[in-house]
Structure 1
Amino acid sequence: MTVGPARSWESTLDSVVVYAQGALCRRLARGTVPSDGRVRVTGLPRTLDPGSLRARVLGACGPRVAEARVATEAEVLGADAPDGLRDEVERLKDVYATALGRRDRQVSRIAEIGALRPVPPPRKRDDPHRRTPVDAWLNLAAFVDERLTGLHHRLGELEEALHLAEHELAVAGDRLERASTDASSAPVETTVGALLTVDGAGPGELELELEYGVPGAVWVPAYRLDHRQGDDSGRLVLRASVAQRTGEDWTGVRLAFATADLRRRTDLPKLRSIRIGRSQPALAPAGWREPPAGLAGLFSGYDAAGPRPGPAAAEWGGPGIAGAGGSGPVPPPPPPPSRAAAAYGGPPAPGSAPFAAAPAPIPSGAPRRAAAPPPMAPPPLVPPAPPRAGPPRPSGPELDYDALVLRGPDERGERRGRLFPEAPFDPVVAEYRRRAEAVAALPLPGQSVRPRESAGSFDHRFDAAARADVPSDGTWHTVTVGEIAVGLRTEYLCVPSVEQTVYASLVLSNATGQALLAGPVDVTVDDEFLLTAALPTLAPGGVRRVGLGPAEGIRVTRRTHQHESTAGLRGNTTVLSHGVHVELANGLARPVRVEVHERVPVTSDPDVRIEERARWTAPEEGAGPDRHAPGTRIWRLDLPAGATSAVDGGYEIRIPTGKSLVGGNRRS
């Protein structure tokens, strides 16, 4: 029975979930399933991870996808294939080479003209001295100066043309380097598709959903904060800086951003038993079993159907087609060592130990290299080790079942239908994946933090409100995710003992159920950009302060006075009295609340007492977005518009005779 080619369906990229590294893409395809149920879905990227492909039927109960596998083909592009950027770079290279040659030739002409010197004729011994023709010298000098003036003027023009050609070549090269990798830039275009087998399909149309993972995508969060002065509300917009080089442009897709690691393995840990008594050797895991009976006869019908077009045609779409950048057909992978076949397909070869890799024999028709000189003495013959009793014991990599590959009917010998740890190497796909994974090394935007570092032990997902476009060019693009509900209030803070300036700040409180990841936040006040600050990670319910800079409309003045006296019956106690006077003037057109910070000395000596004389308060432990130093005291003043207010405070330090403060008793 001859099986025809699968019917091709075009697919559309619908949604993408970008993880900390890598992305999970979802494509939709619609069409009528043929009678044999074989469908080929085209449009998949070249960096696709074959092990991540999943397919299912949408909106139907009876039909189901029975098989899904990745198929790669290659097609030689015609001579008239559009490749504007690459052609432009090649053209500018020729222009630059021409301009460089003209400049070099002009420089050589200037050197030739500049080397002109008057040479007198040789004089014999008996000849009298001749007079020097000054006019000839002057004429030659004038000729050289005139020629050099014209040549240098022309050299300036050629230098400018060379500089312009170099600049245009650099710009075109940069555009080519940053161009989208969605279109192939090689003479051979490699296309990737999914071969699906659908069972139970009716005569109508079906919609299929394909999901697959790709490397080469990263993202970092960023924010924009809009605030109005005098208003306790604002807008915090979450934005994502995305860079991807997955090999396909994300055009009009629904984006979501997750902090999880897409490559993190989810294997269950192996719990070892704890025994009390004599130590016993650990049992080696036995992952080998005998191959099923009749495995060789499983492919009899496949062999009876006749030979296929060939490995090159089946894999690349035509015989003798080379991969991108190659010069010939891609050779098949070398045969694996016999130990893998013995471990996963059958008993080891007779006369050899299990898992022993035997040297490959040299065919009789193969050309032989020049014979090496014989050794001085033949090495002693080592008898082969006796075969180990019992079934083979696979090693750790051979027990990694996620990495094992089930070989299909195209394999020959004992490899058909058996598991092997090594996967076939495709140099074309490996090059695409290498270029895609280079996106992870991009320099981050200013004050950005990778989501895996800021998320901590929890993972979060943020869905974008609208569809967006992200080209596959490996550069950063900004995507608006949505508005986040946050609590916002304006506070004014001053520490007059350090600086007599009042600073404005915004206090953000996370009112959502998700964490706000660390990243840069652009603060806009009254529709004018103010600054870019670094927002730390805010857990649900967390509070942080974002500084807005000095408040020019509020003035603060601080004055202090100190007085030293003695107390007690015999004057054996030194009393240091400190007074603080703070004045605030509100020049704004709205009432404000100012928080004034002072600091009281702290002692650990029980003989030294500190008595406070003020109506300030100590900050509550753990309250507010800031951490306070020991001895901090706070005044909170409500100032109407255009009002002035003053507060007084102070403290006394009582020190027994014979003791003194570090730095002097009169220290403020």
Structure 2
Amino acid sequence: MKSEAAEHRWESTLDSVVVYAQGALCRRLARGSVPPDGKVRVTGLPRSLEPGSLRARVLGASGARVTEARVEVEAGAPGAGTPDGLRREVERLTEAHAAAQARRDRQLGLIAEVGGLKPVAPARREDDPPHRRTPVDAWLGLADFVDERLERLHARLAELEQALDSVAHELAVAGDRLARASTDAPSAHVGTAVCAVLSLDLAGGVKEEQEAEAEPAPDVRLELELEYAVPGALWVPAYRLSCHQGDTDGRLLMRASVAQRTGEDWSGVRLALATADLRRGNDLPRLRSIRLGRRQAAPAPSGWREPPAGLADLFSGYDAAGPRPRPRVPGRPAAAAGTPAGFGARPGAGAPAPTPAPPAAPAPPPAPAAPGGAAAAPPELPPSAAPSPQPPAPQGYGAAPGTAPRARSARPAGRPRAGGAAASFAGAPAPAGPPAAPGGSPVPPAPPAPAAGPPRPGGADLDYAALVLSGPDERGARRGLLFPGAPSDPVAQAHRRRAEEVASLPLPGHAVRPRESAGSFDHRFDAAARTDIPSDGTWHTVTVTEIPVGLRTEHLAVPSVEQTVYATLVLSNATDQALLAGPVEVTVDGEFLLTTALPTLAPGAVRRVGLGPAEGIRVTRRTHLNESTSGLRNNTTVLDHRVHVELANGLAGPVTIEVRERIPVTSEPDVRIEDRADWKAPEPGAGPEHHAPGTRLWRLDLPAGATAALEGRYEIRIPTGKALAGGNRRS
């Protein structure tokens, strides 16, 4: 028979993960029977879960729905995972390394002590002769003893250093294994687990059927889907291109290098890769209207409520009871009566006579109710009983962050204030002088209060699960009000910081981050099969999908820059999915050729990928310049440029070669540049890349073993008035 707690606890399985540019969105599935109260606890969530990212819904058309979902941390049994064994091994080797180092240091101390042994002559007396005989045998005996002793000590030192090096090597290996181990197992002696506490509502038909039956109906079985975000995951694309010589298409296998340290192993998950930013805000801007006149639109309702009237009277009895006794510290004598503990008392000193406390000011009577149900303003206190001004309290529940209590207690015009600061301190003696901090330094002046108006609570003030009720020990305007509590537990923050360290992982060669290559568009790629990625913070290669691409092999030569012919692949993306920049391994006819960088290919784009120099094709270039004059008075200088390019194909098959040249470009209307060759200017947007102004192209098919000669010519006509003294307009 299962216990009730076991029936309410559901195990979950990680089903799919979407890895974004940084961070991941995980989806878990849980199945089980719903108890009558509808409370279900789903286990298996990681400690690095982002706060506020948990979403839950019921799968199927059962009509049930999730009415509440919150995250809880519970203690578990000590973990027995692999990291615990590695951690214990590292601790053992650390202690062994420290012991070996201590033995080595002790041996070095002995060597230094023995090496410091030297013969010392006795003190000279008055009746000793000027020259005394030295016992050479004693000196030599001491030297032999020191040498023999040092020989044995150095031999032992060599053994200790060898043992220390061996232990240091084992410690380094164990530390590296621990650093690379998965973070899925708990890292503390007392493990902690994160679970989702869900409240389910069995709607309509299910409830009616259960109520109609005389006997208790069995629990309803449902399937839940939990979705949450975790940091510490990133990916970069990688490719493998396979083609055959002479083919016009190829197979581009898209792969991805994925690294994650989220605290849970991804085993058998459906993986998807996205280029979007997981933490980017997606709230749409809202433009409100501006109205003139007395009638204004009603404000949108919010969860904020003004503090109730008479809140200060709630603590009048607590204040009348006097200060709470301070706990006595062990080993310290108790303070004398009438003296606060820890102030003015000295161990062993006589206790001063008790001083009677001043009588407390009587509390004012409750404020009478005003017509209409509103509380009337409290009566004005005499100067002796009026409390001194208190510094503004920190921001509380009911006002925007950074505002003073005046803004929180604002009310519509004509409505009196219900219970002010005087009512809060009616039963306590008025403090003398300005308030002081616990250290004795005066409290800095508070910023000026903003103009009175309707309260504007922030997001932290409306987060009801994180609000904390201030108790009676709080002074000022905080007593009895709700304020945002402390941030989430520091253990979870430490897990998230450790997970985000994966962002500093060095990228593989030619890799580009998705946000840099995707530009202003976001893309998603779904892996074809399920995969396993451990939480070890290292790169793992995952096959995503296979994309057909069109390609053709071309050779490119720019002899004016370098007299070398380069082989290139012109890729065309005919799919509706973009290809991001990254490394690509090129395989031709089943043989690996090289690894190069693939540029970003948008859907329908054409780009060129370089494959390196083609040693079997030679190119040479020669130029000739002829200068002359023309015109009626020879007032125009003509610079006639001739370019001669020769190509020779030494490969076994025909090739297509594109030869690029350039002619000058002028912005002067009087200077003319005329083409006198059969080359062509590239059409804008027609080729796979952008060309600089003045570029000229030759394209030709060169058979195997054939040669070709290309002639280019252009003239530059410069008026005489445009010539520069000492300048060069010929190149």
**TM-score range, shorter-chain basis?**
0.7 to 0.9
The equivalent residue for 2:665 is: 602
The one of 236, 246, 251 equivalent to 1:220 is: 236
1:245 aligns to what?
261
Q: 2:194 aligns with which of 192, 195, 209?
A: 192
SS at match of 2:397: helix
Partner of residue 178 from structure 1, selected from 177, 180, 183? 180
- How far did residue 558 of structure 1 move? 1.4
Decide which moves more: 445-454 or 7-16.
Answer: 445-454
Letter in 1 for 2:456: P
Please say if 1:405 is aligned against 2:474. no
2:147 maps to which residue?
145
Give the aligned partner of residue 320 of structure 1: none
User: How far does residue 524 in structure 1 lie from its aligned partner after superposition?
Assistant: 4.2
Structure-1 separation of matches of 2:437 and 2:230:
49
How many Å apart are 1:290 and its aligned residue? 5.1
Q: Is the 8 A contact 1:287 1:394 kept in 2?
A: no
1:413-463 deviations in whole A, cap 9, x for unaligned?
9x9xx9965576323333323323333344444443332333233221110
Query: In the TM superposition, what is the alpha-carbon distance from 1:252 to its structure 2 partner?
Result: 1.0
Relative to 1, partners in 2 of residues 1:629 and 1:412: Cα closer, same or farther, differing over 3 Å?
Answer: same
Instruction: Kindly provide the amino acid, as one letter, of the partner of residue 132 in structure 1.
Output: T
Shift of 1:134: 3.7
The alpha-carbon deviation at position 543 of structure 1 amounts to 2.3
The CA deviation at 1:617 is 0.9
Code of the aligned partner of 1:226 = S
One-letter code of the match for 1:480?
T
Distance 1:609 1:108 in 2: 89
2:17, 2:271 within 8 Å by CA — same for their partners in 1?
Answer: yes
Structure 1 residue matching 2:235: 3-state secondary structure: strand
Question: Conserved in 1, the CA contact under 8 Å of 2:22 and 2:231?
Answer: yes
For 1:371 and 1:31, locate their aligned partners in 2 and report how far apart those are by CA, in whole Å. Answer: 56
CA contact (8 A) 1:614 1:648 kept: yes
Aligned to 1:340: 397
- Tell me, yes or no, if the aligned pair for 1:221 and 1:518 is still in contact at 8 Å: yes
Distance 1:471 1:350 in 2: 60
1:636 equivalent in structure 2 = 699
Alignment of 1:400-439 (within 5 A): 403-405=463-465, 422=485, 425-439=488-502
For 1:100-148, what per-residue CA distance to the aligned partner results, in whole angstroms no more than 9, with x for missing partners?
Answer: 0111111112112221222233343433433334444344334433433
**Could you say what secondary structure the match of 1:156 adopts?**
helix
Assess, with a 3 A threshold, how the Cα gap between structure 1 residues 518 and 131 changes in structure 2: closer, same or farther.
same
Is residue 290–residue 346 contact of structure 1 (8 Å, CA) maintained in 2? Answer: no
Counterpart code for 2:529: A
Superposed counterparts of 1:435-454, under 5 Å? 435-454=498-517
Gaps of 5+ in 1: 294-335, 363-369
Distance between the aligned counterparts of 1:609 and 1:167, measured in 2? 75
Letter in 2 for 1:239: R
- Indicate how the Cα distance of structure 1 residues 287 and 358 shifts in structure 2: closer, same or farther if over 3 A, else same: farther
User: Cα distance 1:142–1:601, how it changes in 2: closer, same or farther (>3 A)?
Assistant: same
The answer to whether the aligner puts 1:394 opposite 2:469 as a matched pair is: no
Match of 1:505 in 2: 568
Equivalent in 141, 158, 161 of residue 159 of structure 1: 161
Q: Evaluate the alpha carbon distance shift between residue 99 and residue 281 of structure 1 in structure 2; reply closer, same or farther with a 3 A threshold.
A: farther
8 Å Cα contact 2:232-2:502 kept in structure 1: yes
CA distance in 2, matches of 1:503, 1:226: 20
Q: Does 1:486 align with 2:549?
A: yes
Query: Equivalent residue for 1:32?
Result: 33
Shift of 1:223: 2.7
| Aligned residue in 2 for 1:316 | none
1:578 and 2:578 correspond = no
Q: Report the Cα distance in structure 2 between the residues aligned to 1:665 and 1:63, rounded to whole angstroms.
A: 85
Q: What secondary structure does 2:76 align onto?
A: strand
Q: 1:351 to 1:546 in 2, by over 3 A?
A: same
**What code does the residue aligned with 1:515 have?**
A
SS in structure 2 opposite 1:340?
Answer: coil
Note closer, same or farther for the CA distance 1:557–1:190 as it changes in structure 2 (3 Å cut).
same
Answer yes or no: is the 8 Å Cα contact 2:70–2:198 preserved in 1.
yes
Contact 1:242 1:476 in 2 (8 A): yes
Q: Which amino acid aligns with 1:510?
A: N
- TM-score normalised over the length of structure 1: 0.77
CA distance in 1, matches of 2:712, 2:395: 89
Identity of aligned residues (%): 69
Does 2:11 correspond to 1:10?
Answer: yes
Q: CA deviation at 1:4?
A: 5.1
Distance in 1 (CA, whole Å) between partners of 2:677 and 2:398 is: 87
Show CA shifts across 1:507-548 (max 9, x none): 222222122223333444555555544434332222222211
1:624 equivalent in alignment to 2:625: no
Q: 1:664 to 1:595 in 2, by over 3 A?
A: farther
C-alpha separation in 1, matches of 2:260 and 2:136: 75
Q: Distance in 1 between matches of 2:661 and 2:79?
A: 79
Contact 1:251 1:468 in 2 (8 A): yes
Q: Secondary structure at the match of 2:40?
A: strand
Q: How does 1:498-577 map to 2 (within 5 A)?
A: 498-525=561-588, 527=590, 529-568=592-631, 571-577=634-640
Query: 2:702 corresponds to which letter in structure 1?
Result: L
State the secondary structure of the residue aligned to 1:263: coil
List aligned pairs for 1:268-307, cutoff 5 A.
268-273=284-289, 287=302
Provide closer, same or farther for how the CA distance between residues 352 and 22 of structure 1 changes in structure 2, counting only shifts above 3 A: farther
| SS of match in other structure, 1:251 | strand
- Pick closer, same or farther for the CA change 1:61–1:288 going to 2, 3 Å: closer
8 Å contact 2:81–2:185 — kept in the other structure? Answer: no
1:254 aligned residue: 270
Residues 163 and 398 of structure 1: CA distance in aligned 2, closer, same or farther (over 3 Å): closer
Normalised by the size of structure 2, how large is the TM-score?
A: 0.71
Query: In the alignment, is the contact (CA less than 8 A) between 1:338 and 1:358 conserved in 2?
Result: no
Equivalence map 1:199-214=2 (5 Å): 199=202, 200=206, 205-214=221-230
Q: Answer yes or no: is the 8 Å Cα contact 1:405–1:420 preserved in 2.
A: no
Aligned to 1:352: 420
CA shift, 1:250, in A, is 0.5
Partner of 2:118: 117
Write the distance in 1 (CA, Å) between the matches of 2:439 and 2:41: 58
Please tell me whether Structure 1 or Structure 2 has the larger radius of gyration of its CA atoms: 2
- Displacement of 1:609 after TM fit? 3.5
654-663 vs 48-57, which moves further: 654-663
Which residue of 2 is the match for residue 97 of structure 1? 98
> Are the equivalent residues in 2 in contact too, given 1:42–1:193 (CA < 8 A)?
yes
Task: Output the amino acid matched with 1:119.
Answer: V
- Deviation (angstroms), 1:92: 0.5
Q: Is the 8 A contact 1:573 1:657 kept in 2?
A: yes
Alpha-carbon contact 2:410-2:455 (below 8 Å) kept = no
C-alpha distance in 1, partners of 2:395/2:554? 75
The 3 A distance-change label for structure 1 pair 138 and 284 is farther
Alignment coverage as a number of residue pairs: 598
Tell me which of 710, 718, 721 is aligned to 1:647: 710
SS in 2 for 1:212: strand
Decide whether aligned partners of structure 1 residues 405 and 196 sit closer, same or farther in structure 2, where only a CA change above 3 A counts: closer
Q: 1:518 to 1:663 in 2, by over 3 A?
A: farther
- 8 Å contact kept, 1:99–1:161: yes
Structure 1: how far apart are the matches of 2:16 and 2:111?
A: 64
Please name the residue that 2:281 is paired with. 265
1:351 alignment partner AA: G
Residue type of the alignment partner of 2:251? R
Residue 485 of structure 1 aligns to a residue in which SS? strand
Do 1:504 and 1:550's aligned partners in 2 also have CA atoms closer than 8 Å? yes
Residues 1:456 and 2:519 are matched in the alignment:
yes
Partner of 2:558: 495
- 1:438 and 1:552 map into 2 onto residues whose CA distance is 46
Q: Distance in 2 between matches of 1:39 and 1:206?
A: 11
Tell me how far apart the structure 2 counterparts of residues 230 and 495 of structure 1 sit (CA, whole Å).
24
Over 3 Å counting, the alpha-carbon distance change for 1:652 and 1:430 in structure 2 is: closer
Most deviating of 447-456 and 544-553? 447-456
1:512, 1:371 → 2: CA distance? 69
